[in-house]
Structures are given as C-alpha cells and as structure tokens.
Amino acid sequence: MSSDPADPGDDLSEVVYFHGRLWDSPAMDGARQLEHLVVSGAHCDICDEPMLDQVDDVVLFPRLTCHLECFLRSVVGSVSHLKKECWCFGVETEFDPTETYREGAKKVLAYLLETGGRFKKTA
C-alpha cells in the first residue's frame, strides 16, 4: 500500500472509474477515466442492459457497475419524482408500462442537464 491517501497503489477495489463523460458531482470526485470498458457488453447492475464501449457513459464503483443514467435515476428518482408529480407527493402518476428503466433513466439525465446538472470537462 502507498502512504499517499490519494494514490490507491495496487488496491484498485475502492477506486471509482468512469467511461465516457464525467458527471459533475461529489460522487465522481477522484474518479479515474477508462479509455475503454474492460468488458464491453457487460450488463448494467441496475437496468441489466449491456454497456457498450462505443456509446455509453458508465460508472464503475467498487461494488456497482452501471450506466451513468441508471446511477443518476437510482439516486435522484424518476423525472415525475423530480417534478414532484408522483405518488410521493400525493399525485396520481400514469406509468408507461412499455418504458424500460433505462429509457426513464435517459429522461432523468436529460432533465438534469436542462435544470443545472452538467458534465465536467475532462482532458
């Protein structure tokens, strides 16, 4: 083990990695960029759809490998929740039963980008 706390040394188990764009949030502080997914086509732990090297924003936490949008949805909730238009706020919500978790998660990402969320600039 290295004595520098910022340097994980050989112990990579506690490091957050990302592939694609880096979301600007404290959860991503210190995240390291992967140029390519180690296993392209591995399935997202949240939505169970494949993660693809060419197109996806992916985050790899020590115990969670997932699409960025799925991570964001799991943390902040659905768009209707963000708009306070869901059951949590006493509003009867209509669900589209054909919409997958990830489709909803992509809407969350778009909504966050519209309302102040952003990607960090990476070199």
User: Is 91 near Zn ion (CB under 5 A)?
Assistant: no
Q: Which of 22, 31, 57, 67 binds Zn ion (CB under 5 A)?
A: 67
Shortest approach of Zn ion to residue 28 CB, angstroms?
17
Amino acid at 64: L
User: Is 88 near Zn ion (CB under 5 A)?
Assistant: yes
Residue 26 tokens read as 């404290």
**Contacts with Zn ion: how many residues (CB under 5 A)?**
9
Measured in whole angstroms, how far is the alpha carbon of residue 112 from the centre of its chain?
12
Query: Which lies closer to Zn ion via its Cβ, residue 3 or residue 54?
Result: 54
User: Is 73 near Zn ion (CB under 5 A)?
Assistant: no
Radius of gyration of the chain, Cα coordinates, nearest whole angstrom: 16
CA distance 77 to 30: 24
User: Is 37 near Zn ion (CB under 5 A)?
Assistant: no
Burial class (CB in 10 A: 0-12, 13-18, 19+), 72: buried
Q: Which of 21, 86, 111, 119 binds Zn ion (CB under 5 A)?
A: 86
Q: Which of 21, 81, 83, 107 binds Zn ion (CB under 5 A)?
A: 81
Asked whether 16 and 61 are in contact (CB, 8 A), the reply is yes
Residue 121 tokens read as 């600039």
Query: Which lies closer to Zn ion via its Cβ, residue 8 or residue 45?
Result: 45
Residues forming contacts to Zn ion in the complex (CB under 5 A) are 44, 46-47, 67, 70, 81, 86, 88, 102
